[in-house]
Amino acid sequence: MLRVSSRLLAGVALAALPAAAVAGTTFQATLTPENGSGVTGTAQLSLTGDQLTYSVQAQGLTPNIFHQEHVHGFLNPVMPSVLPTLANADVNGNGMIEDIEADRVAGQELVFLTAHPSGTSFGNTFSDYPVADSSGRINFTQTYTLAVPQLVAPLNIRALELHGMVVNGTFDPTIPVAGGLITTSGTTAVPLPAAAPAGLMLGGLLGAGMLLRRRRMSV
């Protein structure tokens, strides 16, 4: 009887397993009003390696003008973002949450969700953002290549912030108008090419071994 070593069989078994998939994680956020804006919406994000895809559907925004959008968070990877309120963020007591006050509890801007990817001729971090339509709605999707993905992770302790509203008759692009905590919603997988079936590989190996044994016996 032909004997095949356990080490050899283990190698065959490992080689026959399907190749590991490249996993990505999907996230979501529910946007709620800030500064009495009435802005609401939902957002979806997916992160695979250094590729971040962002989609947002929002309404109640100032029509026909851009609205800054960011992923906010702290560089401390275990410190979660908190949504700003008058109670926790209005340091100067003027009844308005300014951008710098919101950053104290939500964290700094980690990803500028510009209308065009950063590094292009557009992609500036002040005004190159989705423009609300005449009804004050935004429906927008873009993919960004993150320069340092490690600074953004873990994404599920970060927050989304939308900015821009009319204050005292003048549009202020920095005022927070909606925010949402980012939570994990699932995972996606992009499978790599699968290895050959185990039975086929083992059968071929045993056949080769028997042929080698016959040749040795005939010598």
The residue range of the domain holding 149 is 22-190
pLDDT of 23 > 70? The answer is no
Q: What is the pLDDT of residue 188?
A: 59
pLDDT at 2: 38
Q: What's the pLDDT at 1? A: 41
**pLDDT: which is higher, 207 or 33:** 33
pLDDT at 102: 98
Place of tokens 């005022």: 175
pLDDT at 186: 74
Examine the pLDDT at 210 and tell me if it is beyond 60. Answer: no
pLDDT computed for residue 200 by the predictor: 35
**Residue 108 within a domain:** yes
Res 114: pLDDT: 94
Listed range (5-14, 66-75, 155-164, 184-193) with the worst mean pLDDT: 5-14
Helix or strand holding residue 183 (H, E)? strand 183-190
Mean pLDDT of 214-219: 44
In a domain, 32, yes or no: yes
Residue 42 lies in a domain: yes
For residue 206, tell me if it sits in a domain.
no
Mean pLDDT of 153-175: 96
DSSP letter (8 states) at residue 219: -
CB 115 within 8 A of CB 129: yes
Query: Within a domain: residue 99?
Result: yes
Contact criterion met (CB below 8 Å) for 146 and 52: yes
Comparing 20 with 48, the larger pLDDT belongs to 48
In a domain, 79, yes or no: yes
Number of domains in the chain: 1
* Domain containing residue 168: CATH number: 2.60.40.200
pLDDT at 22 > cutoff 90: no
Alpha-helical regions (H) of the chain: 6-16, 86-89, 99-106, 149-152, 198-218
Query: DSSP secondary structure string, 134-171?
Result: TTS-EEEEEEEE-S-HHHH-SGGG-EEEEEEEEETTEE
**176 found inside a domain:** yes
Nearest to 186 by CA among 22, 24, 55, 78: 24
- The arithmetic mean of pLDDT across residues 128-153, rounded, is 95
pTM of the model: 0.74
Mean pLDDT, the chain, rounded, equals 81
Q: In the predicted model, what is the mean pLDDT of residues 84-100?
A: 97
Q: Is residue 208 part of a domain?
A: no
Q: Distance between CA 84 and CA 36 in Å, rounded? A: 12
